[in-house]
Amino acid sequence: MSESTSAASSPEPIPLGQPLPHRKVIRGWLTPIAEQRTAMGIVLLAVDWAVFLALIVGTVLLDAWWAKLLCGLAAGFVIGRLFIIGHDACHQSYTPHRGLNRILGRIAMVPSLTPYSLWEVGHNVVHHGYTNLKGVDFVWAPLTKEEFEGLTPGRRFMERIYRSGWGPALYYLVEMWWNRMYFPRKTYMGTSRPEFTRDGVFVTVYAALWIAALIGAAYATEQSAWALVGYGFVIPFLFWNAMIGFVVYVHHTHTAVQWHDDKHAWAKAAPFVSTTVHLTFPMKIGALMHHIMEHTAHHVDMSVPLYKLKNAQKLLEDTLPGRIIIQRFSWRWYFETARKCKLYDFTRRCWTDFQGRPTSDFKPAVA
């Protein structure tokens, strides 16, 4: 079915006061949109990989330090684009072929040094299965005042950095990548599988080859190996960590977003809609990030490919007016959110600062 036909048969808007339809019904609205295309998927991946390689070559061949730096930063952004492709493939939404998705997903995720199978478990099973359910979903999960005060001074200091608005890169690098994806201890994963180790070795070998190629290029062009590894590896990797840390933070952190510590209340709150934010940007910046910010549609139906998310998000917002959190991005809004969303009070159901003072409206309990 074409997108124009789908739009013509869209459901009637459901007023805010009426009950939300079952998730299966809402997903049914998106089914005509969620067409996966093999050729489209392969082309997008090839283009982004070509751009990434060109930028890494730029860090080697360009003479000016600022040009090398810009290439390194841009390469980090393209790593983010590649990761979003891998994220789709990991959801089996990128192409219609499961085996191909697993291959393309690993190819897309390797520049970010992300072990595919570990991301699959942590993201698909835990985060999507229990979004914003405290004690299960661990991604940017807020502490209570009591939990925060029970931390060691060093851990409280880290939490303040993470929640300052300046800490997404450090948060993702330490709490997500190092602790949960790069050869994680059972403390964090709870289990161990041979494919976890294989994927960890895969990204390690790739990183070693990447660094070795830059060192070889440095000697061949009579440049500083340290500087070239910095421009061509360290800067792209750190930028990528900042990008993904920021993206995941703004997806699920907002004064209107609720967290839950009771599974029954969480299920009643329709978390596939109520816990996500659609962050909009000027100048089509969202499109440059493969529409990952059209995040409500992704949580409603993970089978919608990235190249169809814009249409799926519009359908949801037209059909469920007033239910989806839509936020226009500005740095003022972002740092205001970081100032307000430090801890969470699960009794009063509101965000608080580090002293436990409410910074958002109290949310009524779900019956």
The pLDDT value given to residue 161: 98
The pLDDT value given to residue 272: 83
Ranges 9-13, 102-106, 153-157, 317-321: which has the least confidence: 9-13
Q: Tell whether 28 is covered by a domain.
A: no
Question: What is the mean pLDDT of the segment spanning 29-50?
Answer: 93
Mean pLDDT of the chain: 92
Nearest alpha-carbon partner for 214 in 238, 236, 241: 236
Asked if pLDDT for residue 364 goes beyond 90, the answer is no
CA separation for the pair 53, 347 (Å, rounded): 50
pLDDT over 90, % of the chain? 78
The pLDDT value given to residue 191: 75
Asked if pLDDT for residue 367 goes beyond 80, the answer is no
Contact 366, 154 (CB under 8 A): no
Q: Tell whether 108 is covered by a domain.
A: yes
Cα 156–chain centre separation: 24
Q: Tell whether 23 is covered by a domain.
A: no
The pLDDT value given to residue 33: 86
Ranges 3-12, 63-72, 295-304, 355-364: which has the least confidence: 3-12
Q: Tell whether 217 is covered by a domain.
A: yes
Residue 181 three-state SS: coil
Nearest alpha-carbon partner for 123 in 187, 186, 172: 172
User: Would you place residue 65 in the very low, low, confident or very high pLDDT band (cuts 50, 70, 90)?
Assistant: very high
| DSSP for residue 174 | I
Task: Extract the tokens encoding 276.
Answer: 């996500």
Question: What is the mean pLDDT of the segment spanning 113-120?
Answer: 94
Q: Tell whether 208 is covered by a domain.
A: yes
Asked if pLDDT for residue 93 goes beyond 50, the answer is yes
Asked if pLDDT for residue 1 goes beyond 50, the answer is no
Question: What is the mean pLDDT of the segment spanning 82-101?
Answer: 95
pTM recorded for the entire structure: 0.92
The pLDDT value given to residue 283: 82
The pLDDT value given to residue 3: 44
Dihedral sign for Cα 328, 333, 335, 337, please: negative
Question: What is the mean pLDDT of the segment spanning 1-10?
Answer: 46
Domain count, the chain: 1
User: Would you place residue 160 in the very low, low, confident or very high pLDDT band (cuts 50, 70, 90)?
Assistant: very high
CA separation for the pair 246, 260 (Å, rounded): 22
Domain that holds residue 194: 3-14+33-352
User: Would you place residue 326 in the very low, low, confident or very high pLDDT band (cuts 50, 70, 90)?
Assistant: very high
Query: Is residue 328 within a helix (H) or strand (E), and if so which, with residue range?
Result: strand 325-328
Q: What share of the chain is helix, strand, coil (3-state, %, to 5)?
A: 60, 5, 35
Nearest alpha-carbon partner for 115 in 133, 134, 90, 81: 90
The pLDDT value given to residue 282: 87
Residues 221-277: pLDDT tens digits?
999 999 999 999 999 999 999 999 999 999 999 999 999 999 998 988 888 888 899
Question: What is the mean pLDDT of the segment spanning 119-139?
Answer: 91
Nearest alpha-carbon partner for 145 in 363, 354, 346, 341: 354
Query: Is residue 333 within a helix (H) or strand (E), and if so which, with residue range?
Result: helix 331-340
Question: What is the mean pLDDT of the segment spanning 285-298?
Answer: 92
Question: What is the mean pLDDT of the segment spanning 294-306?
Answer: 92
The pLDDT value given to residue 366: 54
Residues 192-218: pLDDT tens digits?
789 999 999 999 999 999 999 999 999
